[in-house]
Amino acid sequence: MDRDLSDEDSVVDLSFEAESPLAPPAELLERLPSYDCLFQGGAQLLPSLPGRQIFFPPLEALGRPQEPRCWSSFLEHRVPVVTEEVAREALLSFVNSKCCYGSAAAGDLVIQELKQQTLCRYRLETFSESRISEWTFQPFTKHSVDGPQRGTSPRLWDIKVQVPPMFQEDTRKFQVPHSSLVKECHKCHGRGRYKCSGCHGAGMVRCPSCCGAKRRAKQPRRCQMCSGSGRRRCSTCSGRGNKTCATCKGEKKLLHFIQLVIMWKNSLFEFVSEHQLNCPGELLAKAKGENLFKDENTMVYPLIDFPLREISLASQRGIAQHSATLASRARVLQQRQTIELIPLTEVRYWYQGKTSVYYIYGTDHRVHVVDYPEQYCCGCTII
């Protein structure tokens, strides 16, 4: 006969079934002799990532020395001038892409003045690789174990992997050779199953309709939900009284191993030269430009002789920032610095007694309108 269930028996408490920790308690894992070598060469424990170690890459020699550059050909490069016709066509194209903008104003407004300025955008990309080790586990399914008895685990930076295409970010995980250990599951203590928290192993719970009274209050007939038994099959375990351990999937044992996590990241530094026109800087940072200069190598050098001094200073500042940020945390695989010309035109126009402006930026003639005179609410009909 089933035992009497208290009011709490009908409450399914699965809080203790939360996601298992990344690794079992430290006392379950003896220190791997082969893992000692992984702490050599500057490994440090990350305070924000318990159980993880970041491994500093070996120092590498700098690339080729900087060569003097001749900028005369670059200075002769010019982007096409924006004419009044081009300015009107750009505005009409922009207006037609907006559902609530009328095109009459774009066609009728009078262009009074065109102010054109060419900006320089400097961009530095640094493609780097960092490596982190961490303990992880998976259910042990009786396959062969690549443990310390098979050899010494290699240093993390000695493990050869396929590098993704340059400047394309990616994250991959690999099992460190000879680092595997088989242990009893720390969640179910090697049983493969654990008692259901919904029914405490009974397989049945109090009927939620009649609360175990077999009849509903003030009704002579027996409860239809439980057929008058006062009990219902536990929905949490389907009446079995126990559940398969979610950690070991019922296998009773876990295969613990050191996992190598490799992250390829592309760090970006951008700078746009100053201008006197009132166009938002975030638009210019994303604008399409015309390539003026490109330098790509394992390590690039600051531009110290570019005619526009603020670009030279930006180059020096960007390379110094990336060097300081990545020097002790990652291995730099490739760097690329570019200078692009960004055309910017302020169009001052007159329409219905008012003077206003809009901006054309980028080689693809994007438009930023300060206050377009013919705007309508969504859903309104223009007559």
Q: What tens digit of pLDDT does each residue of 144-193 get? A: 899 888 999 898 889 999 999 999 999 999 999 999 999 999 888 888 88
Higher pLDDT pick, 284 / 16: 284
pLDDT of amino acid 94: 93
Give Cα 301 distance to the centre of its chain: 29
**pLDDT single digits (tens) 73-88:** 666 666 788 999 999 9
- Residues 63 and 298: beta-carbon distance below 8 Å: yes
What does pTM read for this prediction?
A: 0.71
User: How far is residue 277's CA from residue 82's CA, in Å, rounded to a whole number?
Assistant: 15
pLDDT of amino acid 355: 92
Which residues, including other chains, have CB under 8 Å from residue 240's CB and lie 6 or more apart? Answer: 196, 203
**pLDDT single digits (tens) 262-313:** 999 999 999 999 888 888 888 988 899 999 899 999 999 999 888 889 999 9
**pLDDT at position 322 over 90:** yes
pLDDT of amino acid 60: 52
C-alpha distances (whole Å) from 116 to each of 103, 231, 275, 281, 365 are 24, 82, 10, 16, 13
C-alpha distances (whole Å) from 42 to each of 34, 54, 174, 319, 332 are 16, 9, 21, 24, 17
pLDDT of amino acid 321: 94
What is the DSSP track for 247-313?
TTTT-SEEEEEEEEEEEEEEEEEEEE---SS---HHHHHH---EEEEEEEESS-----S-SSHHHHH
pLDDT of amino acid 113: 93
pLDDT of amino acid 77: 63
- Residue 123 CB: number of other CB atoms within 10 A? 20
pLDDT of amino acid 358: 95
User: How far is residue 380's CA from residue 373's CA, in Å, rounded to a whole number?
Assistant: 16
- Residues 192 and 248: beta-carbon distance below 8 Å: yes
Higher pLDDT pick, 228 / 13: 228
DSSP label at residue 192: S
pLDDT of amino acid 53: 57
**pLDDT single digits (tens) 215-247:** 776 677 788 677 777 788 887 787 788 888 989
What band does 211 get if pLDDT is binned at 50, 70 and 90? Answer: confident
Q: 238, 245, 115: which is closest to 184 by C-alpha?
A: 245
- Residues 60 and 136: beta-carbon distance below 8 Å: no
**pLDDT at position 46 over 60:** no
- Residues 254 and 182: beta-carbon distance below 8 Å: yes
pLDDT of amino acid 2: 42
Higher pLDDT pick, 228 / 3: 228
**pLDDT single digits (tens) 324-356:** 999 888 999 999 999 999 999 999 999 999 999
